[in-house]
Structure 1
Amino acid sequence: MFVRFEKSIKNKFPFLIGKKLLIACSGGLDSVVLTHLTKKVNLEIALAHCNFSLRGKESDSDEMFVIGLANKLEIPVFAETFDTIKFAEEHQVSTQMAARNLRYTWFAEILNNFKYDYLLTAHHLDDDLETFFINLSRGTGINGLTGIPRINNKIIRPLLDFSREEILNYAKKNSLQWREDSSNKKTDYLRNRLRLEVLPQFKKTSGSLLKNFQKTQQNLQTSRNLIEDYMALIYNLVVTETNNSYKINIQKLKDLPHTEALLYELLNSFGFTEWDDVSDLLDAQTGKQVFSKTHRLLKNREELVLTEIPANVPSTEFLVSKSGIDSPIKLKIESSKYIGETEKNLIYVAADTLKFPLKIRKWRSGDNFQPFGMKGKKKLSKFFKDEKVAITDKENIWLLVSGGRIVWIIGYRMDDRFKITEDTKDILKISLIN
């Protein structure tokens, strides 16, 4: 196994040579073997161990074992204890998800703070097979069937070509010691049931299961690569990027074969799960929306508009001084001796019509104003509709307000009641600075 591992490092992971590497080490068979192999090929390594406080003294013994292993091999070691149960309760997630979040957040901190280049994990071929069946049971696309990636940004998995049996035989042959996690014998979790009950029986029906599985994944990955190349062309054809959104041209998408499959490929990385609802947007009325945890997909006329959901909603009302405001947008207010040409981001108003301090805020249902050049009032909702302003754009529009009256729909239209007349003595120039 060592010869194959050394060859794999040279051929598949040459970028690891000469770098500082952090190994996620539980103290179990897989991570102990990975530690010994990387040490034997003279890679610069350190160990990182998470004590999740889930198995009492057993968890503490695992931690002491890893520290002892690092001392024996004369390599650095990091160990951290977490209150996983408390974290899970506070964040309303499962214990497994809590442990995962805590683990990878901490690993990222070590990489950053101590200047390590990559994190190595001990996932192997059997783990990959289990993941394949888990994803298959939940319903997945080709991405879920291509398995655990060998390289995922700074996370590297150099044992994915090796089976659990090979790893065990290597450990026994080299008289290595490791810790057994008692929770791995429980069948409470789907992965453990697959590992302990389902896959052993499956392997009995086919002695070359793992070999054939590897070949299948290689074929799937080839197909995945073809799809990605094709989707790059489709993306350029139907998607338009703006600063805050992606816009998918519905008609162009419908003109292509396999429309729903293309829509899935365009959007599957944004966390959507209700794919029937997503595809229904193609023929829905303007304003219909579908949400993932991180993004919103909106039907707006002949487009689907994808935007990120902001983590925090900021205050939507700010005071404006006589000289202007710098945040959240920048407005400059200054005296002017003459009236220039009004532009999209520039207006001239009669100073005596304003009541300071002014305010800027987002628009609200029921807002109305008197559009410049008109006699009567008009609701902003009607104005936006007539101007064909997209829903997502409306959410980013600010209003300049004086004494409760809208002075300017910033970037669009000013109110007629604040215009310059023959009686105006003082003129103010108000500019939106981009």
Structure 2
Amino acid sequence: MSLVSRFESYISKDLGVAKDDTFLLAISGGRDSMLMAHLFMHLGYQCVIAHCNFLLREDESDRDEKLVRNYAEEHGVPCYVNRFETESYALQEGISIQMAARDLRYSWFKELKEELDLSWICVAQHLNDHIETFFVNLTRGTGLTGLRGILRKRNDLLRPLLFLTAEEVTYYVKKNNIPFRDDQSNFSTKYVRNKVRLEIVPRFKEVVNDFEYVMEGNIAHIQESYELLQSFIVPIRESIFVEKTFGYEIKRERLQQYKDNLPLIYELFKPFGFSKEVLSDMQKNWEGDVGKIYQSAEYSLLRDRQFFFLQRLMIDKDEKFLILNEKNTSWSFGSFLFSLSCSDNLQIERENGVVQIDGDRLVFPLELRYWREGDYFYPLGMRGRQKLSDFFIHQKVDRFTKERIPILVNSNGEIIWVVNYRLDNRYKITESTKKVIKLVCK
């Protein structure tokens, strides 16, 4: 079977694309991406070309860009180029150059796909990339997830060359006289992936001549095992993890039947990034103190009396605030949407999420923020002042929820409204109120 026939069969049968689908081709100028462009052009699919110039190799980067532009022009294909300040971005985010380049290109590809209303993003990783990813992940420590290598299809991302080896890519590029440029950094063994490609895989090929295809079969078995495991795990997670506005609520008695099975607990919490060490600690302290918190890089898990509360970590609440002036009539804050209107209607509206404030007592600008230690107010319907921390306890507000409750503060520092919970008594409307500020929160 010819390469074109193999390619067409792979993208239609294995990847499930339709003839009238549209494609964003990520073309670097290397031999693999140029072969991918050649195949799409040959079959007449509707495509655009996207090229990233990361400005990392001076004139070499510019020559890559020129090659891609010329190829697109010769074939009458729209070409989009983005020049990134990659080193500055990596320094700003505190990440490696490789990770910065990856973040920048995939973010831009998604934006461009949406802007142009395309069906798919295509990247030209081949079978050897698939195998290298397996070994790189293996050296870093991983489970079934990392040992799956590169997925041929994920959401709107396709890898149409994953059925070809690196040797085949080189052969077909030369056979069809397809122009390309090699990135010389790919030949440096200072990078782990290059070391795997240039030193480790060749040693395996000395033992097994068709090593790539043996590994392709092995990884396929791992992918099947992963999918089988998920077919058991996902229904359990969906039945126990109840989605709430703050995150998830997990009833302890529902989870208790699995608490002695650490591998299963680990799989249930894997999407939230919890390590086995943390979950083992939770397992050992199952009957421990109420209020204990377990954390992953992005989530917190609070142990309450009857529930575990799982939520995404917030940024420092002291840094999260919004300043409002008199012209603000609608705004968002966290997961809340607010609207403001003025009137002289003194009739009280008793609806959830609605509060009426004596407008003459407001001093702009107002501040919307989260609670802080030492905060106090004068709750409507109660005598005297009360600390917010005590108010939350009396209202049986759990620790996670109170971290996300907006607090409306007057310019003089007084709390006006604990949003959706209680108005401060000093700001209620009275018979002498002339201006009513109505706030609606959803």
Aligned residue in 1 for 2:277? 276
User: 2:395 is matched by which residue type in structure 1?
Assistant: E
Counterpart-to-counterpart distance in 1, 2:174 and 2:331: 65
Aligned residue in 2 for 1:391? 399
Aligned residue in 2 for 1:364? 372
- Please say which structure displays the higher CA radius of gyration: 1
Secondary structure in structure 2 of the residue aligned to 1:15: coil
Give matches, 1:4-403, under 5 Å. 4-256=6-258, 259-270=261-272, 272=273, 274-281=275-282, 283=285, 285-292=289-296, 294-309=298-313, 313-315=319-321, 327=331, 329-330=338-339, 355-357=361-363, 362-368=370-376, 378-399=386-407
User: 1:299 is matched by which residue type in structure 2?
Assistant: R
Tell me the number of residue pairs that the alignment of Structure 1 and Structure 2 aligns: 425
Counterpart-to-counterpart distance in 2, 1:7 and 1:348: 65
Counterpart-to-counterpart distance in 2, 1:25 and 1:371: 62
Q: Do 2:246 and 2:401's aligned partners in 1 also have CA atoms closer than 8 Å?
A: no
Q: Do 2:31 and 2:180's aligned partners in 1 also have CA atoms closer than 8 Å?
A: yes
**Root-mean-square deviation (CA), in Å?**
3.7
Counterpart-to-counterpart distance in 2, 1:71 and 1:317: 50
Shift of 1:277: 2.6
Q: Do 1:320 and 1:357's aligned partners in 2 also have CA atoms closer than 8 Å?
A: no
Shift of 1:230: 1.8
Q: Do 2:262 and 2:279's aligned partners in 1 also have CA atoms closer than 8 Å?
A: no
Identity %: 34
Counterpart-to-counterpart distance in 1, 2:322 and 2:73: 56
Shift of 1:145: 1.2
Q: Do 2:361 and 2:427's aligned partners in 1 also have CA atoms closer than 8 Å?
A: no
Counterpart-to-counterpart distance in 2, 1:407 and 1:125: 62
Counterpart-to-counterpart distance in 2, 1:75 and 1:347: 57
Structure 2: stretches of 5+ with no match in the other structure: 333-337
1:2-49 superposed Cα distances (whole Å, 9 cap, x missing partner): 332222133123424222222212222211221222222222233322
User: 2:400 is matched by which residue type in structure 1?
Assistant: T
Q: Do 1:30 and 1:123's aligned partners in 2 also have CA atoms closer than 8 Å?
A: yes
Give the direction of change, closer, same or farther, for the CA distance of 1:397–1:325 in structure 2 (3 Å limit).
farther
Shift of 1:193: 0.4
Q: Do 1:281 and 1:289's aligned partners in 2 also have CA atoms closer than 8 Å?
A: no
Q: Do 1:348 and 1:427's aligned partners in 2 also have CA atoms closer than 8 Å?
A: no
1:47-103 superposed Cα distances (whole Å, 9 cap, x missing partner): 322222222222222222223333343433333333322332233221111221222
Taking structure 1 as the reference length, the TM-score comes to: 0.82
Secondary structure in structure 2 of the residue aligned to 1:128: helix
1:327-360 superposed Cα distances (whole Å, 9 cap, x missing partner): 56457787788889x78767899x8xx9444967
Deviates more, 1:276-285 or 1:92-101: 276-285
Counterpart-to-counterpart distance in 2, 1:121 and 1:21: 10
Counterpart-to-counterpart distance in 2, 1:16 and 1:195: 34
Secondary structure in structure 2 of the residue aligned to 1:142: coil
Give the direction of change, closer, same or farther, for the CA distance of 1:116–1:356 in structure 2 (3 Å limit).
closer
Q: Do 2:249 and 2:310's aligned partners in 1 also have CA atoms closer than 8 Å?
A: yes
Deviates more, 1:145-154 or 1:357-366: 357-366
Counterpart-to-counterpart distance in 2, 1:32 and 1:373: 72
Q: Do 2:122 and 2:157's aligned partners in 1 also have CA atoms closer than 8 Å?
A: yes
Give the direction of change, closer, same or farther, for the CA distance of 1:430–1:47 in structure 2 (3 Å limit).
closer
Shift of 1:125: 0.9
Q: Do 1:263 and 1:279's aligned partners in 2 also have CA atoms closer than 8 Å?
A: no
Structure 1: stretches of 5+ with no match in the other structure: none
Deviates more, 1:51-60 or 1:66-75: 66-75
Taking structure 2 as the reference length, the TM-score comes to: 0.80
Shift of 1:117: 2.5
Shift of 1:290: 4.7
User: 1:115 is matched by which residue type in structure 2?
Assistant: D
Aligned residue in 1 for 2:335? none
Counterpart-to-counterpart distance in 1, 2:353 and 2:86: 52
Counterpart-to-counterpart distance in 2, 1:407 and 1:34: 61
Counterpart-to-counterpart distance in 2, 1:375 and 1:311: 34
Q: Do 1:346 and 1:430's aligned partners in 2 also have CA atoms closer than 8 Å?
A: no
Give the direction of change, closer, same or farther, for the CA distance of 1:400–1:2 in structure 2 (3 Å limit).
closer
Give the direction of change, closer, same or farther, for the CA distance of 1:395–1:20 in structure 2 (3 Å limit).
same
Secondary structure in structure 1 of the residue aligned to 2:23: strand
Q: Do 2:26 and 2:51's aligned partners in 1 also have CA atoms closer than 8 Å?
A: yes
